[in-house]
Amino acid sequence: MSNLYTDNPDLLHHVRAGVRWDRVVPLWEEGFTLPDGPGSTAEARELYEASLEELGAFAGEQMEPRARAIDAHGVRFEGGQVVQAPELLKNIEGLKKLGVMAPNLPRELGGYNFPFTVGAAMMEILSRACTNTLLVHVFYQGPAVMVVRYGTPEQVERWVRPLATGALSGSVAITEPDAGSDVGRVATTAREESDGWRLDGRKQFISNGCGDLCVVVARSEPGSQGLEGLSLFVVPRREGDRDNYVVAKPESKYVIRGSATCELSFDGARGELLGPRGAGFRQVLSFMNEARLAVALQGLGLCEAATRAAKEYAEKRVQMGKPIARHELVADLLLDMEAETAAMRALCYDSAELFDVVEGLSRPKNAAAPGAAKALAAAKRALRERIPLVKWFGAERALWVTRAAVQVHGGYGVVADYDVERHYRNALILPIYEGTSQIQSLMSLKDQVKWLFERPWSWLTGAVAVEAPPNPLGDGLREMAGEYERTLKSVLRQSLGLGGALAAVRDRAPSPEAMSYALLQAERLCAMLSYTRAAESLARHAEASPRHRRLAERFVHRSLPLVRMHGEIARSGDRDTLEAGTA
């Protein structure tokens, strides 16, 4: 047993030296004027460190030993009720006693006003210990944040503190059986009656759908279509002595078995409008962005657990007279796993820091400061670019790392007595939920194209800039960015032709009908930019130690050929898929 915070030198580096706390803490503490708050950045950091050490000890001593039993028990349906593993409930009770159910909420609402970056470290620790427990834990703070952000004072008073203390848990219901990733096809309806709102419809694949309340996306405007006419509602599970909505049998899954994924049925369920009527899609976007970073952090915890398990096994397993960790191919695999995990961590914490800057600068007191509006716009732009990238990278590369851990274990890797088969199974969901990897790729392409045509001069000056050190490591990073630039522009020229490109520059946007070839290459472009931003984030820490430099150089040396490969394929002009008539 170990402390899952203090035994992780790379995580310690990011919390103690990597995160630019002087940039974040004064914004969150509003100039250190908040009641019951720290008086300085140094004092705040002491609080963060103490909380992470306490959580790390609990996660290592109690959560991690229970993870296998939670997976084996899964989620059951008995007497019309969802039954979760007793060991999972013990974990949640322990986290409640630690008081870490909603660390990022304001202190006056039951939280600690910790920046999101501290919450990110907590999520990494929890996922490494037991990703099933993490997935239950996040649905205390997650719905509470939405109520704080959009609710009335009465709603905040009624719902937020019980969620923050762990008295209630919740869920967020967006997905429907026939809608999937297409939010514009939401068919659940909400009608306003004399005694309030009533909801009708079905939701599917709802994580922690067995919770005490649900934040629901429903169509509130009759006759509306697409993304218009959607609203958010808080819908309590119980109304008096009866169920307000029905929780159907949880899905039987071979991934995240201990997390209840439910179908919900609303038949005249009473709900409360949350925020402005008709603003549901804009509201849910903020939740989805936070959820996508949370998925990447889930992947990061799995990578850390899998890499450690693979190293430990490889040091003990002797073949042909020496530990397999000393065999060249296995040693190479282990170092790649370590570098990939370090790059993922660097990208995650850079993204979390951007979240903190955006949140901090959005607070009224900070927003009024000179230069705040410009700084906020720049941070929002940088964060918007990175969200699909961190979700893509945190999901796709977690699959590779956990799969590699299974390979290191050989035949034992698929045996339930070894944790790596569970880590690999749990990673399989990451590229699917909270927006598939393909959805992230389309989002990234859409934004890059939009920004390129809004600033036509960037066709010459470059659409993507990287912070690269003036050394060979920086040279590789700049080449990765240049490869992405060349490929993006080539793909757009091949999609639009010269005339279409000139018209798009004039109109500040390309014709959607002409973008088929670019859409075909969207995931290759997303992969290229994801590797580039991950390398940039990792390179920022290269001077911290010889180990950090070695990992940064290895990641760039291994990623640059992959970026070139994706670029060559995308620039090849191969239209076989389009010409086959399948797209």
Residue with tokens 């976007």: 285
Buried-exposed string 553-562: b where 16+ CB fall within 10 A, e elsewhere: bbbbebbbee
For the segment 359-398, what is each residue's pLDDT rounded down to a tens digit? 999 999 999 899 999 999 999 999 999 999 999 999 999 9
Do the strands 170-173 and 242-243 form a parallel or antiparallel pair, or are they unpaired? unpaired
Across all residues in the chain, what is the average pLDDT? 94
CA–CA separation, 487 vs 484, rounded Å? 5
Classify residue 333 by burial, with Cβ atoms within 10 Å: 0-12, 13-18, 19+: buried
Beta partners for residue 213, in sequence order: 170, 236
Q: What SS3 class is residue 102? A: coil
% of the chain with per-residue pLDDT over 90: 87
Q: What's the average model confidence in pLDDT over 430-457?
A: 92
Spatial separation of the C-alpha atoms in residues 402 and 427, rounded to whole Å: 7
For the chain, how long is the longest CA-to-CA vector?
80
CA separation for the pair 45, 114 (Å, rounded): 10
Please list the alpha-helical segments (H only) found in 322-371. 328-362, 364-367
Q: Determine the Cα–Cα distance for residues 112 and 98; give it in Å rounded to an integer.
A: 12
Lowest mean pLDDT across 270-284, 455-469, 473-487, 495-509? 495-509
Distance CA 557, CA 236 (A): 52
Confidence of residue 580 (pLDDT cuts 50, 70, 90): confident
Radius of gyration of the chain (CA): 24
CA distances 408 to 108, 320, 335, 453, Å, are 49, 15, 12, 47
Alpha helices, H only, 410-511: 420-427, 437-454, 458-461, 472-507
Beta bridge partners of 196: 193
Amino acid letter, residue 271: G
At 40-78, the pLDDT tens digits run: 999 999 999 999 999 999 999 999 999 999 999 999 999
Instruction: Give all domains of the chain, ordered by start, each with its CATH number.
Output: 1-168 (1.10.540.10), 170-278 (2.40.110.10), 279-435 (1.20.140.10), 447-579 (no CATH)
Mapped onto helix, strand or coil, the DSSP state of residue 467 is coil
